[in-house]
Amino acid sequence: LDLSDINAPELVAHIPIELGGEGNAHTVGVDQELGLLIRNDERLVAESSDGATVTWGAQTIYDVTDAGSPSRLATFATAGATTDDGAADYSGYFSAHEVVVSDGIEYVSWYSDGLRIVDLGEPSQPVEIGSFVPAPATDPLGFWRTASGETSFPMVWGVSLDDGLIFLSDMNSGLWVVRYSPPAVDPQPDAGSVL
């Protein structure tokens, strides 16, 4: 939307999503400097469209440098969020939820896959450079239970950044405050550390 006249918002572009199952376009993050929009699709039920690939909610990364003509660059999902053998892991919920983008790095709350830190320096090839998964815990309100009957698992809902710290809200275990130390040379998947 063009909000230059706040009293008359104007539609500039629309990015359609593939409908089916839950099909939730839940949250977005924007990196204005890189001209990127990251869309998180939240799914609380793993789904299969071809009988083999099973997917929880994942991300789609778009180039929005030309706001009127966004283009899809890549998708990103954790190893727990997608399988190719037709079987899903039901010991938790492996869906993307919220995202914060800062200086070409995204910080994603990924429910049972915890915090994922992804380098967007080459947006068409996002690279996971760090992660933190809280210890499994039981929902104190007794609401969350997995499809396989698990009652104790991580459930990282929110993510926020402030002054070099990452704040995570886990619906089952509470607030986590972590600090990320980027890898010194040649980022590789899972090369960063979270303290």
pLDDT the model gives residue 90: 84
Residue with tokens 């070409």: 104
pLDDT at 51: 65
pTM of the full predicted structure?
Answer: 0.86
pLDDT in tens, 3-62: 999 999 999 999 887 766 666 788 999 998 899 999 998 888 887 766 666 778 889 999
Tell me the backbone φ, ψ of residue 135, rounded to 5 degrees: -65, 145
pLDDT digits (tens, 9 = 90+) for 118-145: 999 999 999 999 999 999 999 999 999 9
Burial of 58 by CB count in 10 Å (0-12 exposed, 13-18 middle, 19+ buried)?
buried
Q: What tokens appear for 171 in the block?
A: 């619906």
- CA neighbor of 156 nearest in space, from 17, 71, 42, 66: 42
Place of tokens 């009127």: 68
Band (112; pLDDT cuts 50, 70, 90): very high
